[in-house]
């Protein structure tokens, strides 16, 4: 993801643009951090249910690298964690 693509207004292909959503229940999620995440489903821990999300580097439709390891590390570093 280059600097000019930081707002994710540009996607590598129409399929990815159509699939990505800000809805937490969607399969591909555009997170506030700028990352595109794959939703693996729900998990319950200590009576609380939450989404299990993972980062992806390559577009699942066309194979283009959409986020580098550096992009992912920078975005994750900016996200607050709660214990």
Q: Is the pTM of this model over 0.85?
A: no
Burial zone of 53 (CB within 10 Å; 0-12 exposed, 13-18 middle, 19+ buried):
middle
Longest CA pairwise span in the chain (Å): 42
pLDDT for res 83: 47
DSSP letter at 16?
Answer: H
- Along the 83 residues of the chain, how does pLDDT read in single tens digits? 444 444 445 689 999 999 999 888 899 999 888 899 999 999 999 999 988 999 999 999 999 999 999 999 998 887 655 44
| Distances, alpha carbon 7 to alpha carbons 11, 16, 47, 53, in Å | 10, 15, 35, 20
Which distant-in-sequence residues (6+ apart) come within 8 Å of 46 by Cβ?
Answer: none
């Amino acid at each position: 993801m280059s600097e000019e693509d930081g707002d994710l207004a540009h996607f590598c292909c129409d399929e990815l643009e159509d699939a990505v959503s800000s809805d937490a229940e969607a399969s591909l999620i555009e997170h506030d951090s700028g990352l595109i995440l794959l939703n693996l489903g729900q998990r319950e821990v200590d009576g609380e249910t939450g989404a299990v999300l993972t980062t992806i580097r390559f577009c699942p439709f066309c194979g283009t690298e959409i986020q580098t390891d550096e992009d992912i590390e920078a975005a994750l570093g900016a996200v607050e964690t709660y214990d």
